[in-house]
Structure 1
Amino acid sequence: MATEASLKKQDNVPTTSSSSISIPHHDSKQKYELDGEDTVCNEKPDVASPSDADVDVDPAAPPPMFYKPPPRQFFQIMTALALGVFLASLDQIIVSTSIPAITKEYNSLNDISWLGTAYMMTSTALQPLYGKVSDIFGRKSVMLFANFMFLIGSAISGWATSMAMLIIGRAVAGIGAGGLMAMVFIILSDMLDMRERGKYMGGLGAIFSLSSVIGPLMGGAFTDHVTWRWSFWINLPLGAISVVFIWFNLDLPTPKGSFSDKIKRIDFYGSILLLITVTMILLALSWGGSKYPWNSATIIGLLCAGIVSAVIFILVEWKIPAEPIIPVHLFKVRNIWSTYGSLFFGGGAFFGILFYIPIYFQVIKQESATVGGLETVPFVFGIVITSISSGIWILKKGTYVLFPAMGNFLVITGSALCLLFVEGTPRVATIFILLVCGLGIGLTLQPSTLAVQAACKPKYMATVTAMVQFMRSLGSVFGIAIVGSVFNNKLESTLHDRFPGDESILRVTQDYGYIMNYGELERSTIYATFVRALHFAFYCCVAFSSLALVSSFFIQHKELKTNANQAGKKVELPVEMV
């Protein structure tokens, strides 16, 4: 039985928990139903649930939907969240420039692809699970768990004595990174109302994009001047700051119940099936066209196993668990499927541009990896501008529905303009084109999150928010695999056609410096071949962003809920908390 003190504390509880039950307000006289007028996600009609009950609410003092801590406390929490986004996205790509040194130390060239694959698999596959688990165990506990797993994985990687140990460390770090990316936006959504959170999501999105660019630069600097191990050790002090700030400042309510009862609520069947599905598909996409041919039995078998597992997962989530990690009925909501489709295809376009623009500068412009990375600054600058400005617009006007379509249209334009890249393209043109691409990407970040949050009941907020990160990550994996396959196939086939008697010509695809061993006329032919292959990669980006644009046309505007505009309305109270 809740005490009077605990009931007073519940007056300030944000309504973002996973399931709702009737909680009496001790001064209330008037009854309100749980289903709000502006919520569209409904439970299965044939299943009785606690949310069917009425709840007593005092219209003069309704419980707030969102709880923003005092300024100093809020600043430290935001610092911790920003560090979480920065480290998780940085660790995804920082190791790329350290690969030659790692290969030399461990003499394990055949296993080097696992450094990225192990991290990518665990971080992507577990993101949806974090949303539901945070509803069961509370935001603070799950955020601290993700931080600790990330730090443990970073420590194992930094002090690894073998390639196997390094790969294990990367997989453990990925477990934590997936939680960091999901929980950062869930916690932010608990603290801020929907209009105010847009500008903060824009800032976090800008940090994510910035870390994607400076990651290779930092990895290269550590490898050249100290040791590649600092690519992982750098996470420890920064991650420790995040842990401390979360530990002492994050004070969101924790759901009641014993540990054993909470464990029983976890959808283990769905979690295992999702992990198997994502692992099979990601392995096929990572290995296809590089380690194995796309038509090999290994790749076809992995894809078939992944598809079968995905079908079983959907059936299980639809019929079996009481609290599925991905409620299938949510996908009946227009804003859910349209936004996730836009995020999936947009993620493919984003990472397609991010990964292949540096090749243009390093090969065609003959710049170093460091300078080539700096050339992408206009791309990041564009993301920062529109991420923050769109967040401010949402705060002031409360509208967001046009931003995903506008952003995807700009990405289409920028990707098409990338087809103008040739050996003699002036720098001012490359700056303008990359700026256009970045402006478009920035417009699609936080409005997409708000679109799904505004369309659903508060109890689904954590689930749909975690799925935002999952769909974008999954789309980026598909995008990199497809764009990479198209680029590599076009490059290799054209080089073979133009240099039929040269058995070593494909060496230029791995070692760009090897191009200088050829004469001026041959170098010109090689550069033209790279440009042509890059154009095919950008064709893929145009296709991805076009599909994202079509999906974004179906996004509808829903009122952004705030404490002010929800006062006195029908509200959905959270589970009883302590």
Structure 2
Amino acid sequence: MSSSHIDVKTSAAAAIVPSQKQQEFDVSSSNTSLSEKTQQGESSIGQDQGTQEPEETIDVKGEPIHDLDNPEADSATPPPMFHKPPPRQFLLIMIALALCVFLASLDQIIVSTSIPAITREYNSLNDIAWLGTSYMMTSTAFQPLYGKVSDIFGRKMTVLFANTVFLLGSAISGWATSMIMLIVGRAVAGIGAGGLMAMVFIIMSDMLDMRERGKYIGMVSGIFSLSSVIGPLLGGAFADHATWRWSFWINLPVGAISTAFIAFNLDLPTPAGSFSEKIKRVDFYGSFLLLASVMLLLLPLSWGGNKYDWNSGIIIGLLIAGFAVAIIFVLVEWKIPNEPILPIHLFKIRNIKATYSSVFFSGMAFFGIIFYLPIYFQVILGESATIGGLETVPFVFGIVISSVGSGIWVMKKGTFAFFPAVGNFIFMGATALCILFKETTPRVVTVFVLMLCGLGVGLTYQAYTVSVQSAVKPKYMATVTASIQFVRSLGQVFGIAIVGSVFNNKLEESLLLSFPLSPGRDILRVMQDYGFIKTFSELDQAAIYRSFVHGIHYAFYCSVAFCALSFLAACFIEHKELKTRKDMDKPEITIDMA
């Protein structure tokens, strides 16, 4: 006697509503029994207008297939409706999104080479650190808020708001008449920049199905990396040949183009409801607590080892306060709001936990490399800021190649889970090779190693985003997409603080050992003013360069450790099926032989 059970499931391009009708037929013969169940469903009206989800589907054995209490249920299903515009309109939108990413990431680093000119004009050296800190704090803190806000008010309105705020901050910075006004402008620009970084990936996810996203996310990620090279070059050129204010004014025409393209071409559904109804849905408690915790944590990470010692009371107090507020935030999000900024139950999902952990440590490793490679080229090899910036081009070139290539792979094959682990393993090995860099390292070696670093980093970019998006239901897509940018930024901040502290301590230790008789610790001046090295004899300069090499090697040791942690976390990312539009239009037939 044998029996066959055949499940026939028909899935439309939208979510299936609860089963309305089930029919069962039993056909008996001498040795065959057939049981068949048919489900009927109807399409939802789209993700932005609300998606109805099945309560439960029963297979032929009477066992539930879906469990709505499990946030991972239906996790591999893409959003029920994609809104990809016609080719010309899509091209203009993608250009606008690319410009958004370029400007937001460019503004993060372009000011670094303008600092000497700014300090000369305002004679305010003590406040100069706030130019980077104010932008970094607001851009990082506001990123996770934009995901939920875009669910409530709509993608188009949210990204236009972010663009407008960013341009307003750039205008304030460009026409600043004092250091305080400049710092305020940078903080305002950061609020907008955080939204731009988050909304770009959310909008692409609304327009593209799971497989298509990888290719375009890879392209945009390459633009993000390119700006890290162009930024210092542009900032230095403006400061030397025009005015440092062009570092901010350049955002205005480019940002205006981006805003116009989005305003006239982006056409995504707007959630229903009046403005007052939408305001009531905003999680103000969670927003305030998240902003407070992030700022309380970022301030000591920015000040530690620079303005204050790490063991000072203000640094320790701010860190304790930051972690305490973060715990309160988690408790509030868990129990109070109906629509939390970051639903805590999502962290039960394996891919969410593994991906966020890997992204955090990858961000730490990335900035550990990108911040100290210019020091190697400019201080140890004695190259100009322009040439030193160009030396990192192989790194960016590697990112572009692998991010676009892996995106095409995802589009064609539908697999992504192995990319984060492979990418971090390559990045870890290449970073370990950076430890071999010395004063006499041939240029061909540095080019090869940096390209290898870029290849490793690029493999992870699009896979991380696809990993979290494929692990949750459509209604959480914007939330997890915005959060992954937030986690990456937070990792970068922690990486800068930790690696910077290790580098400074090891450099100081090596300098004091090499120059034990230096009066009044004058030798430590070279840590703040690299040009001071040229005042020493050639023999002493060689010893100073060896000390810098020693310190940079320890910075790379830290990055290797962070890469290893990121690799371990990435090994726990599991595969999720990535469906295309064609797959979703076909009936899915599963045969289970018992």
Instruction: Say yes or no: TM over 0.5.
Output: yes
Distance 2:574 2:209 in 1: 19
Cα deviation, 1:420-457, whole Å, max 9, x if unaligned, reads 00110000010111011100000010001000101110
Distance 1:35 1:413 in 2: 47
* Aligned partner of 1:530 among 548, 551, 564: 548
**Which residue does 1:294 correspond to in 2?**
310
**Which residue does 2:578 correspond to in 1?**
560
Change (3 A) 1:63 1:499: closer
Contact 1:149–1:173, Cα closer than 8 Å, also in 2 = yes
SS of corresponding position for 2:585: coil
> For this pair of structures, how many residues does the alignment match?
537
Distance 2:509 2:84 in 1: 57
**Which residue does 1:55 correspond to in 2?**
none
Contact 2:109–2:228, Cα closer than 8 Å, also in 1 = yes
Distance 2:43 2:123 in 1: 58
Cα deviation, 1:285-344, whole Å, max 9, x if unaligned, reads 000000000000010001000010010000000000000000000000000010000100
**Which residue does 1:457 correspond to in 2?**
473
SS of corresponding position for 2:371: helix
Distance 1:275 1:433 in 2: 39
* Aligned partner of 1:222 among 206, 221, 238: 238
Cα deviation, 1:453-506, whole Å, max 9, x if unaligned, reads 011100000000001101110000000110000001111122122212323211
Contact 1:66–1:562, Cα closer than 8 Å, also in 2 = no
* Aligned partner of 1:261 among 245, 270, 277: 277
Contact 1:101–1:228, Cα closer than 8 Å, also in 2 = yes
**Structure 1 portions without partners, runs of 5+:** 1-10, 23-31, 46-50, 53-61, 571-578
Q: Does 1:98 align with 2:114?
A: yes
Matches within 5 A, 1:260-339: 260-339=276-355
Larger Rg: 2
Distance 1:307 1:63 in 2: 35
Distance 2:50 2:300 in 1: 37
Contact 1:507–1:514, Cα closer than 8 Å, also in 2 = yes
Higher relative contact order (CA 8 A, sep 6+): 1
**Which residue does 1:142 correspond to in 2?**
158
Q: Does 1:407 align with 2:423?
A: yes
Q: What is the deviation of 1:13?
A: 8.5
Change (3 A) 1:119 1:255: same
Distance 2:81 2:420 in 1: 26
Cα deviation, 1:12-39, whole Å, max 9, x if unaligned, reads 98844395458xxxxxxxxx65899999
Q: What is the deviation of 1:272?
A: 0.4
Distance 2:191 2:169 in 1: 8
**Which residue does 2:482 correspond to in 1?**
466
Distance 1:39 1:235 in 2: 52
Q: Does 1:359 align with 2:359?
A: no
**Which residue does 2:228 correspond to in 1?**
212
RMSD: 2.3
Q: What is the deviation of 1:510?
A: 1.7
Contact 2:49–2:269, Cα closer than 8 Å, also in 1 = no
Q: What is the deviation of 1:569?
A: 7.0
Distance 1:88 1:447 in 2: 22
SS of corresponding position for 1:195: helix
* Aligned partner of 1:494 among 510, 517, 532: 510
Change (3 A) 1:300 1:209: same
Higher deviation after alignment, 501-510 or 126-135 = 501-510
Cα deviation, 1:55-94, whole Å, max 9, x if unaligned, reads xxxxxxx995212100110000001000000000000000
Q: What is the deviation of 1:524?
A: 0.8
Contact 2:99–2:258, Cα closer than 8 Å, also in 1 = yes
Q: Does 1:548 align with 2:548?
A: no
Change (3 A) 1:12 1:115: farther
**Which residue does 1:513 correspond to in 2?**
531
Change (3 A) 1:278 1:467: same
Q: What is the deviation of 1:521?
A: 1.2
**Which residue does 2:263 correspond to in 1?**
247
Letter in 2 for 1:348: M
**Which residue does 1:17 correspond to in 2?**
48
Letter in 2 for 1:485: S
Letter in 2 for 1:224: D
Change (3 A) 1:80 1:504: same
Contact 2:174–2:245, Cα closer than 8 Å, also in 1 = yes
Distance 1:42 1:81 in 2: 35
Contact 1:411–1:441, Cα closer than 8 Å, also in 2 = yes
Q: Percent identity?
A: 69
Distance 1:13 1:42 in 2: 18
**Which residue does 2:31 correspond to in 1?**
none
Distance 2:427 2:503 in 1: 19
SS of corresponding position for 1:69: coil
